[in-house]
Amino acid sequence: MLKVKDLTFSFKKTKILNKINFSANLGEYISVIGKSGSGKTTLLKLLYGEYDLDNGSISWNNEQILGPKYNLVIGYDFIKHVTQEFDLMPYISVEENIGKFLSNFFPEEKQKRTLELLEVVELTKFAHIKVKTLSGGQKQRVALARALAKQPEIILLDEPFSHIDNFKKQSLRRRLFKYLKDKQITCIVATHDKNDVLGFADRMILLNNAQIEENDSPEHLYKHPKTPLIASFFDEFNSINNEIVYANQLDVVEKSNIKVKVSKSYFKGNHYLIESIHENKTLFFEYSDELSEGSIVYLNINK
């Protein structure tokens, strides 16, 4: 189990994280969300042992994770950290990058493991291509595979799909998170993308004002958002009579107390997002068809 107790960290006298407490079980996937500058990346670096804590402690299976004051070499064998910089070897192949730290004493096992990970990150066809010729998204996938090569007990991922195009992103998410669950690898992911969370994460941690504001399941936080900040992570929302209401929770009806004037329709695939004005405030709702500017419609909250 990963245990984080009273973690506090400052940078140049600015407190980045203050009294952070949480734990993660074997094979659990926790997503860390928050606005830019909220401390997501810093938290992952602290979990990896890249920085020294001001106060508090971090441990994995009762072994303390310590920073550079205590370790000549940063990091631990049981933990891997995939950053947005990748840190790959550009002049050797994808296959060689992935297998670089696997033992040559067991060539068959090494080959099998490398092929397995190439399939997970959907790069089998690029096995013998030099990394320097790959796109940013492909390099990110190589970095993911290389981190998994020695099957760590815990993996830290910082925006793991940020460089990957939408054509590959969905299938890669499914493959990667299934693999981590199957292998019981604990996963901590810093992300700004709800699609990295919904359907995959066991829990979400929301960082705000240097502290943990929420720590619960994605489903619970989606259905019961306490603040506009958590609601905004998931979808377009409105504040109606001090209640948070998602755009998809408003239905068009013949008559109601919520009268709006349509100002814009945005095509979203299987629906339109309608921007409207209600009592001099902007209000968003979803509708099956485009509505003309200036139209008057009535809405009902359906929760």
C-alpha 113/C-alpha 98 separation (Å) is 9
pLDDT value at position 166? 84
- H-only helix segments in 183-262: 218-223, 228-234
Q: Are strands 272-278 and 203-208 parallel, antiparallel or unpaired?
A: unpaired
pLDDT value at position 131? 92
User: Which segments within 25-125 are labelled E, that is strand?
Assistant: 29-33, 55-60, 63-64, 79-82
Residues forming a β-bridge with 7: 20
- Mark which of 172, 188, 223 sits at the end of a domain: 223
Report the mean per-residue pLDDT for the chain: 93
- Does the structure show a pLDDT above 90 at 13? no
How many structural domains are present in the chain? 2
Give residue for tokens 């990346």: 41
Domain span at residue 256 reads: 235-301
pLDDT value at position 110? 87
Give residue for tokens 């998410």: 173
The reply to whether 248 and 151 lie within a common domain is no
The reply to whether 217 and 190 lie within a common domain is yes
**Could you read off the pLDDT of 92-103 as tens digits, one per residue?**
999 999 988 787
- Does the structure show a pLDDT above 90 at 175? yes
Question: Which pTM does this prediction carry?
Answer: 0.91
Give residue for tokens 């595979």: 145
pLDDT value at position 22? 97
Residue 165 is part of a domain; what is its CATH number? 3.40.50.300
The reply to whether 117 and 16 lie within a common domain is yes
Longest dimension (CA), the chain: 75
